[in-house]
Structure 1
Amino acid sequence: MKIIYKKPNCLHSLLILLLACWSCSEKKTDLKSPNILFVISDDQSFAHTSFAGSNFANTPAFDRVAREGVYFSNCIAGSPGCAPSRSSIVTGRYPWQNEQSGQHASAWLKKYVPFIDVLDNNGYVTGRTGKGVAPFQYARSPEDSLWRTTDAGGVDHSGIRYKDDKEGIEGYAKGVSGLDYYENFKYFIEHVKKDQPFFFWFGASEPHRAYEKGSWKRMGKKLEDVEVPAFLPDNDEIRGDLLDYAVEIEWFDQHLGKILKYLEDIGELENTIVIVTSDNGKPFPRAKANAYEYGIHVPMAVRYPTAFPGGRIIDAPLSFVDIAPTILEIAGASPEGMMPIAGQSFLNILTSEDNKIKGRVMDYALSGRERHSSSRYQNWGYPQRAIRSKDYLYIWNMKPERWPAGAPQKYDPKDESKLLPMHGIGSDGNYIPQSAYTDIDDCPTKTYLLEHHEDRDIKPYFDLAVAKRPEFELYDIQNDPACLENLVGKAEYIDVEKRLNEALVLELKKTQDPRVVGPDQDVFDTYRRYSHNRNFPSPK
């Protein structure tokens, strides 16, 4: 593990007080305790901040948090899909531990208490703007007696929006959220917080699709600045799509920057722990909804110079299940009332001046997926479990007979006795929207791959995105971040493969993953989906 350390002037006595409160399990009453600002973008891969070296996504606000704080260069999301990943954050549990409350577009059960509720009962005032823990179905009426009523990400106290503009918000790209995240945060501070410490969840909708195609041109971006990952073809269509993605990242970052400045102006920034991350990777083929590097590896930085020595880069893996216990320890709050937490606090890492940190949290991180969208017969998912060390990524595709990106063909929603064409390509050679491989968000990159899938130069990229996969995959992510060369079975990697397999299975058994320990290994496929459903033919 590499730690770049810049010595602080002093360590604040506040953390000593907090740790003392934690050890004696007393409720936190010190109103001078730190505020906590939790910031999460929607669908942003690890590589796409300027701090991480991106030449086409400019993120000065994130860069400041990373530069002045602790940057985790190997943060692994709980899932490559949004709902299960956010579930993992607020419960401190893996998605497979949370029944339907760890699955996309299913119901949130009351028993899965988020850490935010605990903060509410321990001296913090909490609030939210933007996307919370979603998409989930929350209670609609008293009949939904087992379901949670409010968003697990906290209460949205205001809904201040920009005025609609046909040219885009303030001349910006169409497709960004109409919510004014900054103004909603300001409202919370001025009208809700009062004299208590706060926890605030800023959940951006960016860079989730859809984007305004070609918005990058108006925003002054250049095709030549783009770095196209090796699992996608390198041409102007793909580069333009990546630039539109970067435009939305920058909108998110601008709001973060305004919030940081506001906190600074009112004298609260140095008493606020700022945590910035994303829920999963970018919405492109072989990224989001895939347990590959660009699907589960996300940005992560924590700033609190008062007690966390800044200017450090931690390259050991960090897991999303570790966020909840860390925040609870900071707040001096017991997880009483929550379901048993699988993660471990990394507060000792944040306050440490050396690398003498023990425990699983610094050895590897796990991620997993089940159903992402309605993409297969009877809403079946594509179950994956992954374990990520600092150098390797090991993936278990538990149902390799299924299509990883969704079925290549579906029934016509206008006439469900008819099947739409294979790969969603009509007789005119054009892609029919939402007609195939629907675990991949419709986008120019997906359309290009499908419409050119028979071209000799494009077919390899098409296969990487949608073809069936072996049960096990192993990648050297230091040398192959695109996850192109599967090392399973290669003699020189047998020991690595064995070690990661054993560690993965051990943790899945420990956390009672139904896919491994039963009794119903296919229970995840039975959970009701409350979002739009599609109709697919039975697999042969």
Structure 2
Amino acid sequence: MYKPTNVLLITADDLNYNSVGAYGCEVENITPNLDKLAAGGIRFNRGYVNIAVCQPSRQSIMTGRYPRTNGSLGFEPIKDGVPTLTEQLHHAGYLNGILGKEIHLKPTNRFFWDYFVTEGDLASGWGIGRDPKLFYSFTKEFIQKAEREGKPFFLMANSHDPHRPFAGSDQEKNAWGADLPVFTREITPEEVTVPAFLPDLPEVRREIAEYYTSVYRLDQTVGAILLALEESGQRENTLVMFLSDNGMALPFAKSNCYLNSNKTPWIVSWPNSIKAGRVDDAHFISGIDYMPTILHALRLPEVEGMDGKSFLPLLEGRTQSNRTMVFTEFHRIFAGIDYPMRGVQEGDFGYIVNFWSDGEHQIRGDAASGRTYAAMKEGAASDAFVYERLRHYEYRVPEELYDLKADPDALINLIDDPKYAELVARLKSQLHRNMRQTNDHLLERYEGTFLNQ
């Protein structure tokens, strides 16, 4: 007799793909719980989100659609009539629960939550979305509710780490005063490696250490959630996925279309269904694929209009020949201030078009708060490398091309190298096809300005 599978989705907030031990992080023992989860299932090395900012990223995951097709380009609700994963699960008899970040899935009535811990419940005095003990208690309470009601469950557990303000930072104290979420391990500047896309300045290194202190606490939260699941006796019948909504909130990561913006650690564990210790280096999967994959895994009907496709065959050890590229986009950081971008990565090469880049407009966002951006502003006055990096971050250029295998931190723009002209033309054509298929509102502008350059 078929027993419905439970689903647990654990998300990080602003976690870079390579900040996890299993993904090569050099900070010793930074993510033991995530590493254990990866060892017990499958780790995707080409997992992506389609947009690198919180609400539209999460709403893409939960609708199987690009932001430009579900209607949420920034911090807006999805369009009326767009089906959601939790709507389908609700109709199939599932109990739906969410821990934190429910404000980033709008409108609320389209997501059919039976149990939710709101931002207010996680506010000051409640751990501010960063207390592993609270996540343990809430997860346990939700699973017990599902057991009492005799229903399979879907739980979306959303850590607020390692989103700003970072653990132990001045920014954190300024935000919340004395009633701060606790942390049990402080990562020191000497322990970290500054990402190559940032200058290695003392204040930058200090902020990277604060970020990793938050990463360690995130991992403790993951461990607490999984412990509650294990103690419930439901672990063997639960499909667990872990991913981040976007990259770290620092220049050249979050709110862009770089590798460090959209690539995410993506781990799947499903006892008795997925062989432990597998690594997939070949196939591209993205946020829009989450909803169709879950529906497929649970033997539920497909939903029309989704842009994503199920990667259940990959979980089962098969291959999918069409998973050779991924498309990314960006629209706006704050209401009324647009920074439209589109990107495509095929194999090891990534092409980005920055519609907004004209040498005058300057990018803004929370990546420009904190120590790193201020240190770059100060360092630019006396260091030519820092000056050039800062100017490129703030103003960009209309088109970019990177060899992401040789240059994952996007330091060498190859767009004008004649050796890559044929590759650029192919990537532009792939992006054009995607924009045409999705009725992208920037299609005509792309055709008129970039396609045939």
- TM-score class, shorter-chain normalisation, is 0.7 to 0.9
Aligned positions of 1:61-460 closer than 5 A: 61-99=33-71, 102-132=72-102, 134=104, 138=106, 148-150=107-109, 152=111, 154-158=113-117, 176=130, 180-194=134-148, 195-211=150-166, 212-213=168-169, 219-315=185-281, 316-336=283-303, 340-352=305-317, 354=318, 356-359=319-322, 362-374=323-335, 379-401=336-358, 406=363, 437-438=364-365, 440-457=367-384, 458-460=386-388
CA distance in structure 2 between the partners assigned to 1:190 and 1:403 by the alignment: 56
Contact 2:187/2:212 (<8 A) preserved: no
Tell me the distance in 2 between the aligned counterparts of 1:86 and 1:255: 19
Following TM superposition, by how much is the alpha carbon of 1:153 offset from its aligned partner in structure 2, in angstroms? 8.1
Q: 1:422-451: CA deviations, max 9, x gaps?
A: xxxxxxxxxxxxxxx335341111111123
Task: Determine the C-alpha separation between the residues in 1 that align with 2:220 and 2:362.
Answer: 33
CA drift of 1:220 comes to 4.0
Distance verdict in 2 for CA 1:98–1:518, change over 3 Å: farther
Instruction: State the distance in 1 between where 2:48 and 2:35 align.
Output: 19
CA deviations on 1:34-90 (whole Å, 9 max, x unpaired) are: 111001111111110011121237111211221111111121111011111112111
Contact in 2 for aligned 1:177/1:205 (Cα 8 Å): no
Deviation string 1:312-356 (CA, Å, 9 cap, x unpaired) is 1112321111111000111222244xx60011100001002x5x4
Q: Aligned partners of 1:123, 1:155: CA distance in 2, in Å?
A: 11
Hey, what's the Cα distance between the residues in 1 that align with 2:66 and 2:85?
14
In structure 2, distance between residues paired with 1:233 and 1:518: 35
Q: Aligned letter for 2:274? A: F
- The residue that corresponds to 2:441 in the other structure is 514
SS of match in other structure, 1:298: coil
**3-state DSSP class of the match of 1:484?**
coil
Whether contact under 8 Å (1:384, 1:397) holds in the other structure is: yes
Q: Is the 8 A contact 2:400 2:413 kept in 1?
A: yes
Rate the CA distance shift 1:441–1:201 in 2: closer, same or farther, 3 A: farther
Q: Tell me how far 1:179 sits from its aligned partner.
A: 8.7
What TM-score, normalized by structure 1, do the two folds share?
0.74
Q: Give deviations 1:88-133, integer Å, cap 9, x for gaps.
A: 111111111122xx22222333312211110111132111111136
Following TM superposition, by how much is the alpha carbon of 1:218 offset from its aligned partner in structure 2, in angstroms? 7.5
Q: Which runs of 5+ in 2 are unaligned?
A: 173-181, 449-453
Residue 177 of structure 1 deviates from its aligned partner by 6.1
Aligned counterpart, 1:54: 25
Deviation at 1:149, TM superposition (A): 4.0
Aligned-residue offset at 1:367: 0.9
Higher deviation after alignment, 210-219 or 231-240: 210-219
* Structure 1 segments unaligned to the other structure (5+ residues): 1-13, 15-29, 139-147, 407-436, 522-540
Paired AA for residue 398 in structure 2: E
In the TM superposition, residue 390 of structure 1 has moved relative to its aligned partner by 3.0
CA distance in 2: counterparts of 1:278 and 1:389, whole angstroms:
21
How many residue pairs end up in the alignment?
Answer: 431
Q: Is the 8 A contact 1:74 1:318 kept in 2?
A: yes
2:87 and 2:361 map into 1 onto residues whose CA distance is 36
Partners of 2:48 and 2:285 within 8 A in 1: yes
Tell me if the contact between 2:201 and 2:375 (Cα under 8 Å) persists in the aligned partners.
no
Higher normalized helix content (fraction of residues): 2
Conserved in 2, the CA contact under 8 Å of 1:41 and 1:277?
yes
- Shift in CA distance, 389/133, structure 1 to aligned 2, threshold 3 Å: farther
Structure 1 residue 461 corresponds to structure 2 residue 420: no
Deviation string, structure 1 residues 265-292 (Cα, Å, up to 9, x no partner): 2321121111000000000011111111
Question: Alpha carbons of 1:517 and 1:310: their partners in 2 closer, same or farther (altered >3 Å)?
Answer: farther
Q: Which residue identity is paired with 1:116?
A: T
Question: Secondary structure at the residue paired with 1:111?
Answer: coil
The answer to whether the aligner puts 1:39 opposite 2:3 as a matched pair is no
CA distance in 2, matches of 1:54, 1:266: 31
CA 1:394–1:162: 2 relative to 1, 3 Å: closer
What is the deviation of 1:508?
1.1
- Quick one: structure 1 residues 277 and 305, their matched pair in 2 at CA, closer, same or farther if it must change by over 3 Å? same
1:300 Cα shift? 0.5
Question: Residue 176 of structure 2 aligns with which residue?
Answer: none
Code of the residue aligned with 1:368 in structure 2: it is: E
The question of whether the paired residues in 1 share the 8 Å contact of 2:143 and 2:232 is answered with no
Whole-Å separation in 1 of the counterparts to 2:207 and 2:183: 11
2:261 partner amino acid: G
In structure 2, the residue corresponding to 1:465 is in which secondary structure?
Answer: helix
Q: Could you state the TM-score of these two structures normalised by the residue count of structure 2? A: 0.87
In 2 relative to 1, CA 220–206 (structure 1 residues): closer, same or farther, beyond 3 Å?
closer
SS in 2 for 1:382: strand
Distance 1:162 1:90 in 2: 22
Distance 1:191 1:218 in 2: 31
1:150 aligned counterpart, secondary structure: helix
State the partner residue of 2:177.
none
User: Shift in Å at residue 310 of structure 1?
Assistant: 2.4
**Corresponding residue for residue 422 of structure 2:** 495
Q: Does the C-alpha gap of structure 1 residues 235 and 319 become closer, same or farther in structure 2, counting only changes over 3 Å? A: same
- Say which SS state the counterpart of residue 182 (structure 1) adopts: helix
**Greater radius of gyration (CA):** 1
Opposite residue 91 of structure 2, the aligned amino acid is: N
Aligned-partner residue type, residue 485 of structure 1: I
Q: 1:423 aligns to what?
A: none
